[in-house]
Structure 1
Amino acid sequence: MTALMGIAARLRLARLMHIAPDEPDAVGALAEASYAGGADIVMLDEDLADAIADETAEIGLAAITLAARATQGLTGYFGRPVRAAQLSPDLFVLADAEADPVRTRRLVGEWTMIGRRCTSDADTDAALAHPEVDFLMVGPGLERIRYAARKAPAHDPRSKPWFAVGGITAESLGAVIRAGAMRVAVGGAITRASRPEEAAHVLKERLRTAWNDDPRMESVVAAAFGPKATLNLPSDLKARGANPPR
């Protein structure tokens, strides 16, 4: 689990999530490229049908966690609550639509952010209303995204963070943003790219531009840091009167 700036704050500021396949031989290099290109989150998608999934998930998330250190990126896991408790990712998305977020919270603890995959408007309503669900992944389809944007506007700091998901590419990202999404989760758009780092960079820059072009997003950034955000300097720096980094 990563630290420094709080996980909840970094989740609110996140724009690009990469859902990476559970392939131990490849996920480490893929995560490094993705983070380097600007991905805020790399989430391991465990193959629940794989008989050796438990072992590969542990190796895969360890590789993602190591890659995350260079950029202080967030780590994620999409799978089973029991495994999430063992793996300790920053973010966990419930793979089972019937899984209970309350029970999941008891398993993963207070520091892991719990997400819910929402494939219908009813799913979105339930996830937004549930106190133990911290973020949503909404899609596929522009109608699902538009509904989430109406119910939880991305520019409203009171809204839970949500990521549009479902076959999103660099070509379709414009339509997704126009539908109201300011955060996206992609898989193949990075995983299958000949240059994953460049693919992540293109997506992240498009999202960065969208945030910068909408002045309402400034309130989301401010709220992520809190009303009394401060920077605590080490005592030796204070003694020398050093200026804080900007």
Structure 2
Amino acid sequence: MGSVPLTDRRDRLQRCRLYLVSGAAPGGRPLADVLPAALAGGVDVFQLRMKDARDDEILAAAAVAAAACRDAGALFILNDRPDLAAAAGADGVHVGQDDLPLARARELAGPDRLVGQSTHSPAQVDAAAGADYIGVGPVHATPTKPGRPAVGLELVGHAAAHAALPWFAIGGVDAATLGAVLAAGARRVAVVRAVADAADPAAAARGLRAILDAEALDGAAA
């Protein structure tokens, strides 16, 4: 996948609405069972997040993720490890504020791969010009980010008004909270438990996409 131009990946990213983040065993189940279902339900970006895992474990899970995303026409993002992006077959990498600088992440990942960054404040949103996209949150407190205070809908509104890049609201986003997140200005969202832990990942993703797509139609008609 390294031969795909960055411009093509950026074009695909612009069209994405629903971003799933998960480890190698979402909801305690094999990634090979959950991810294809989530993609079939409407997930169009998947990030593999395996903190503290060995390289061989990451690459084994990445092989599953890359194949599933390729078959579904979705983007595959690897968390934290730009040095493994090529070997993992990833379309891009995602880094946090305390990880590598964006320029270094892009250097390691290669010039044809997307680089995303997490943001948690207006200043970080405004300073992320070197990224291809950003995550904005956590909107609500979430156990996937222990110790990280929720930023609330105010940061979503700031991103809607000021972010020049594609961005995804993240943090406690699910079917119950999505409406308020969209009302605050989000057009793309990232989820974890809402799909990864769902008994039926395909149905969970379809439900979220229905809300997202209805908002898009309402916006186009306005």
1:148-184 deviation line (CA, Å, top 9, x unaligned)? 11113xxxxxx31000000111000000000100000
Residue 11 of structure 1: CA displacement?
A: 0.2
AA aligned to 1:33 is A
Query: Tell me, which stretches of 5 or more residues in structure 1 are unaligned?
Result: 153-158, 218-246
AA aligned to 1:95 is G
Q: Which residue of 2 aligns with 1:8?
A: 10
Q: Which residue of 2 aligns with 1:36?
A: 40
Distance in structure 2 (CA, Å) of the matches to 1:150 and 1:71: 32
Query: Tell me, which stretches of 5 or more residues in structure 2 are unaligned?
Result: 139-151
Partner SS, residue 189 of structure 1: helix
1:173-227 deviation line (CA, Å, top 9, x unaligned)? 000000100000000000111100000011111111111111289xxxxxxxxxx
Q: Which residue of 1 aligns with 2:49?
A: 45
Distance in structure 2 (CA, Å) of the matches to 1:161 and 1:68: 20
Q: How does 1:171-190 map to 2 (within 5 A)?
A: 171-190=176-195
Q: How does 1:1-246 map to 2 (within 5 A)?
A: 1=1, 6-23=8-25, 26-48=30-52, 50=53, 52=54, 54-127=55-128, 130=129, 132-140=130-138, 141-152=152-163, 159-215=164-220
Partner SS, residue 90 of structure 2: coil
Equivalent residues, number: 205
Residue 84 of structure 1: CA displacement?
A: 2.8
Distance in structure 1 (CA, Å) of the matches to 2:97 and 2:120: 12
Residue 95 of structure 1: CA displacement?
A: 3.3
1:29-79 deviation line (CA, Å, top 9, x unaligned)? 21101100010011101122x4x3x12211111111111233211111111
Bigger CA radius of gyration: 1
TM-score, reference length from structure 1: 0.77
Taking only the aligned residue pairs, the percentage that are identical comes to 33
Partner SS, residue 215 of structure 1: helix
Distance in structure 1 (CA, Å) of the matches to 2:83 and 2:221: 39
Partner SS, residue 84 of structure 2: helix
Q: Which residue of 2 aligns with 1:226?
A: none
AA aligned to 1:78 is N
RMSD value, Cα: 2.2
Distance in structure 2 (CA, Å) of the matches to 1:39 and 1:117: 19
Distance in structure 2 (CA, Å) of the matches to 1:77 and 1:22: 12
Distance in structure 1 (CA, Å) of the matches to 2:88 and 2:101: 19
Distance in structure 2 (CA, Å) of the matches to 1:96 and 1:84: 19
1:115–1:133 CA contact under 8 A, matched in 2: yes
1:37–1:197 CA contact under 8 A, matched in 2: yes
